[in-house]
Amino acid sequence: MIQIKKFKKNEQGNAGIIAVLLMIIILCAGTSALVMLDKQNIKEDTSIQPVTTADEDSQPTQPEEEQKTPEVSMKLPVPTPSSGYSEVKSEGVLSEYACLLDVTDNTILAGKKYDEKVYPASLTKIMTLLVAVEQIDSNDNLSMDDKVTMTAELIDPLIAENASRVGFVAGEEVTVKDLIYGTILASGADAADALAIYVAGDKEKFVDLMNQKAQEFGLENTHFTNCTGLYDDNHYTTCLEMAMILKQTIANPFCKQVLSEFDYTTSKTDVNPNGIAITSTLFGRIYGDKEVPDAVVLGGKTGFIDESRHSLATFLSRDDRLYVLVTTNSDTKWSAIEDMSKIYTDYLPPALHPSIMDSSSAESKAEENSGNVENSENAEGSSKAE
């Protein structure tokens, strides 16, 4: 009996304990639920709006649309004089400014006032070529096969300024590729201006792109006011910086190809059913493999304005190395070629082994174009600017 009573007594005590435990469990469960709900609310609020403080030392979060990815610097390493650097003093060199650059080592082998301001004339079109090709390559809305309609508004001022032209006429539809080759081989201001308008919408915006590219390269003594090279006191560069521009331009395979062409025929149009045969103003004056012993002049660009006379920018290969030479202010187009030949010959490192390509093709090509070259030379000679 005692046990039974005890059992009953213990049962009552246990019941009380159980009741207390149940209350504690209920309270704990309720508290946990409240805590979880509160955490969920905090998480949701945080995901909607970041918490900010009024601490003066803290940095406010920048709105997403204002955050920009840092631009990759394209600043070019400035070439320095080589250990064997020489001042250009070759007898008979008439160019007043010169810079011979070893592209492989990025050093200046020889020079003559190479860091002084010059007016680049149509050497400008080297930068025009590079900017246009890069813009076309990076924009799906631009294509070499697109056609541009030439206008009198574009052509007539160039005729008035006696600028060199390809010979396109108002109303003629010309491919972008034709404009590119016309800009370089014929040194056509009509092609260059049309190309600029096609790429950027107008000439001024294209010139902005040219100056932006110069800034990207870190060129401190170069500024453009047009894409053709016509004289402007605020349109200038140096032989060194133009050599750097040419170096970067020939790093682009297509640009190098254009600068290396002997001739080109534009696409057929209603106005020119056979196209226009264009001969390079450079290769109309040189063979390429005969001017410098054991070396090949691969390509380049000529230039002329009254203010800086005759300019020349070329690149050459010897012993599988590339060299760039820029000269300005030579008396005639032929003296500029002679200056090129003398400077390369006198200041390049000695050839390790002959590297002359088969000259028959170059010679035959030059002879084949001789009639066209003579015509283009006569036209150029009467031009105020090439």
307-324 pLDDT tens trace = 999 999 999 999 999 999
How many other C-beta atoms lie within 10 A of the C-beta of residue 54?
5
Q: State pLDDT tens for residues 74-112.
A: 789 999 999 999 999 999 999 999 999 999 999 999 999
Instruction: Categorize the per-residue pLDDT at 265 as very low, low, confident or very high, splitting at 50, 70 and 90.
Output: very high
**Contact yes or no for 228/192 (Cβ under 8 A):** yes
Q: Is there a domain that residue 227 lies in?
A: yes
The tokens of 188 are what?
Answer: 């056509």
CATH number of the domain residue 372 falls in: 3.40.710.10
Looking at the domain assignment, is residue 159 inside a domain?
yes
- Which of 94, 134, 232, 160 is CA-nearest to residue 224? 232
Output the pLDDT for position 141.
95
Task: Answer whether residue 184 is part of any domain.
Answer: yes
Query: Is the Cβ–Cβ distance between 111 and 88 less than 8 Å?
Result: yes
The residue among 52 and 274 whose pLDDT is bigger is 274
Contacts of 241 (CB under 8 A, 6+ apart): 214, 219, 221, 222
What are the structure tokens assigned to 219, written together? Answer: 């060129």
The closest alpha carbon to 128, from 194, 65, 40, belongs to 194
pTM of the entire structure?
0.76
Per the structure block, which two tokens stand in for 44?
Answer: 């949701």
Residue 126: per-residue pLDDT: 98
**Residues 93, 339 contacting (CB under 8 angstroms):** yes
Q: What is the pLDDT of residue 352?
A: 82
> Does residue 69 belong to any structural domain of this protein?
no
Tokens 């905090």 — which residue?
42
Spatial CA neighbour of 122 closest among 192, 218, 37? 192
Query: DSSP 3-state assignment of 249?
Result: helix
CA 209-215-218 angle, to 5 degrees, is 150
Q: Per the structure block, which two tokens stand in for 326?
A: 């820029």
Q: How many domains does the chain contain in total?
A: 1
The reported pLDDT for the residue numbered 119 is: 98
pLDDT tens column, 284-312: 999 999 999 999 999 999 999 999 999 99
Is 63 domain-assigned? Answer: no
Q: According to the model, what pLDDT value does residue 382 have?
A: 44
Residues shown for the chain? 386
CB 222 within 8 A of CB 120: no
User: What integer pLDDT is reported at residue 26 of this predicted model?
Assistant: 58
The closest of 280, 267, 325 to 112, measured between CA atoms, is: 325
Range of the domain at 348: 80-381
Q: With a cut of 50, say whether residue 379 has pLDDT above it.
A: no
Integer Cα distance of 245 and 240 in angstroms = 9
207 occurs within a structural domain: yes
**Residue 294, in any domain of the structure:** yes
Stronger pLDDT, 47 or 180, i.e. the higher one: 180
- Say if residue 208 is exposed, middle or buried (CB neighbours under 10 Å; 0-12, 13-18, 19+): middle
pLDDT at 378 over 70: no
Q: What is the pLDDT of residue 386?
A: 80
Would the pLDDT of 36 be above 90?
no
Specify burial of residue 232 (Cβ count, 10 A radius: 0-12, 13-18, 19+).
Answer: middle
DSSP calls for 59-104? PPPPPGGG--PPPPP-PPPPPEEEEEEEE---TT---SEEEEEETT
> Is 209 within a domain?
yes
Question: CA-CA distance, 226 to 366, in Å (whole number)?
Answer: 32
Q: Pinpoint the alpha helices (H) of the chain.
A: 2-48, 124-138, 152-160, 176-184, 189-200, 203-217, 239-249, 253-260, 333-347, 359-368, 370-381
The model's pLDDT over 97-151, given as tens digits with 9 standing for 90+, comes to 999 999 999 999 999 999 999 999 999 999 999 999 999 999 999 999 999 999 9
**Average pLDDT over the chain, rounded to whole?**
82
